[in-house]
């Protein structure tokens, strides 16, 4: 009888509950299939904190943000003894296969466990959309909708006051959120880690735009962009010792004000991008990936992650799927540039 453990690890994102629901619906449809929900990511597997998940436990959660299982960035290899720290729970609960819903870090941990003999299937999730093994991860669509809405709002106040507004968005080392959100919101400039920028040149372009009568501008900045001196801007470290990015807009905003002479304000969108109800697209993607991962795991697959290429569901070797962050391609950046100041 298949006993599937499911966990959500790393930063949360909209769509996690939709994916959990799909895993449960598919597994319990199997003869004697059972799902064990593991609480707070890998931490629950290390500490034995679990709860059974049946069909009734996942009713009404499709549209809810966050994760009913909780999450954390605790990692069995970094904060424990690796395989030895998760085996007792796997054995005690009779879990014979795992579905790991995580970003690149959690998927790498899943790959290590698979190499050590644990049966694991991964599901990519992150608002950053930077996982190599999939064209889209759920959470991303919701995040860019939030960014697009924010730009709509910032535009009217920027226009009223004839200001520049610098909007910082998440994305870690990639600019997917900045580029998609910026295109959707009609930003005058988008700065991403994938491409160097010249602040004096940007200031010149904004000045010419303002002199031509468009006396406001929205500049979207990805959190992973280096400051003008080339340094990464860190907001500290989290409870597990991981570096937190954030705050580069507070350097870029005042610098642009000095260079242009236009009053400038800074907005850091932060966790608004991660909270709340998933868009329809993210609900469907999470549901499809959850079903596909459950199928793969019931069929005995291990060491793989599900993903999507175009609109087709795929499975990819876990190591390959989370090898390098997937960067924004040059052709997409070139398209975004047509609309810059």
CA separation for the pair 213, 222 (Å, rounded)? 27
Closest CB 188 distance from ligand F6P, rounded Å: 23
Q: How far does the chain reach from its first CA to its final CA, in angstroms?
A: 61
| Eight-class DSSP state of 201 | H
The piece of 30-38, 51-59, 106-114, 120-128 that touches ligand F6P (CB under 6 A) is 120-128
In the set 128, 130, 141, 282, the catalytic residue is: 128
The yes or no reply on residue 11 touching ligand F6P (CB under 6 A) is yes
In whole angstroms, give the CA distance from residue 185 to residue 55.
40
Q: Is 55 in the site for ligand F6P (CB under 6 A)?
A: no
208 binds ligand F6P (CB under 6 A): no
Q: How many CA atoms lie within 13 A of 186 on its CB side?
A: 8
- Closest Cα partner for 66 from 142, 149, 151? 142
Q: How far apart are CA 330 and CA 287, in angstroms?
A: 31
Asked if 291 is part of the footprint of ligand F6P (rule: CB under 6 A), the reply reads: no
Q: Does 274 bind ligand F6P (CB under 6 A)?
A: yes
What character string, x for contact with ligand F6P (CB under 6 A) and - otherwise, covers 147-186?
-----------------------xxx--------------
Residues 6+ apart with CB under 8 A from 17: 58, 61, 62, 64, 65, 66, 67, 68
Q: Burial of 184 by CB count in 10 Å (0-12 exposed, 13-18 middle, 19+ buried)?
A: middle
Contact segment (CB under 6 A) with ligand F6P among 30-38, 91-99, 122-130, 301-309 equals 122-130
Instruction: State the nearest-atom distance from the C-beta of 306 to ligand F6P, in Å.
Output: 19
State which of residues 17, 126, 142, 173 lies at the interface with ligand F6P (CB under 6 A).
126
Is 198 known to be catalytic? Answer: no
Tell me which residues touch ligand F6P (CB under 6 A): 11, 103, 126-128, 170-172, 223, 238, 244-245, 274
């Amino acid at each position: 009888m298949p006993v599937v453990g499911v966990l959500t690890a790393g930063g949360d994102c909209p769509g996690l509950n939709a994916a959990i629901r799909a895993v449960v619906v598919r597994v319990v449809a199997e003869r004697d299939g059972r799902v064990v929900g593991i609480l707070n990511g890998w931490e629950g597997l290390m500490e034995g904190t679990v709860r059974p998940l049946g069909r009734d436990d996942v009713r009404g959660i499709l549209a809810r943000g966050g994760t009913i299982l909780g999450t954390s960035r605790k990692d069995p290899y970094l904060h424990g003894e690796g395989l030895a720290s998760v085996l007792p729970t796997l054995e005690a609960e009779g879990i014979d296969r795992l579905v790991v819903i995580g970003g690149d870090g959690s998927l790498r941990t899943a790959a290590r466990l698979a190499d050590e003999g644990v049966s694991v299937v991964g599901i990519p999730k992150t608002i950053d959309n930077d996982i190599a093994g999939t064209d889209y991860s759920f959470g991303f669509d919701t995040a860019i909708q939030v960014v697009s809405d924010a730009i709509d709002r910032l535009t009217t106040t920027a226009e009223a006051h004839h200001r520049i507004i610098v909007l910082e968005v998440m994305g870690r080392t990639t600019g997917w959120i900045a580029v998609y959100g910026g295109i959707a919101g009609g930003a005058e400039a988008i700065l991403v880690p994938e491409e160097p920028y010249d602040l004096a040149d940007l200031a010149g372009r904004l000045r010419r735009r303002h002199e031509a009568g468009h006396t406001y501008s929205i500049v979207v900045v990805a959190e992973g962009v280096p400051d003008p001196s080339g340094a990464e801007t860190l907001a500290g470290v989290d409870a597990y010792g991981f570096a937190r990015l954030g705050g580069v807009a507070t350097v870029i905003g005042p610098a642009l004000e000095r260079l242009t002479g236009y009053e400038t304000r800074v907005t850091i969108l932060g966790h608004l991008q991660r909270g709340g109800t998933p868009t329809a697209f993210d609900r469907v993607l999470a549901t499809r990936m959850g079903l596909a991962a459950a199928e793969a795991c019931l069929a005995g697959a291990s060491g793989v992650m599900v993903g999507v290429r175009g609109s087709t569901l795929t499975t990819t070797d876990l190591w390959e799927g989370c090898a390098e962050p997937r960067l924004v391609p040059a052709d997409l950046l070139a398209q975004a540039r047509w609309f810059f100041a």
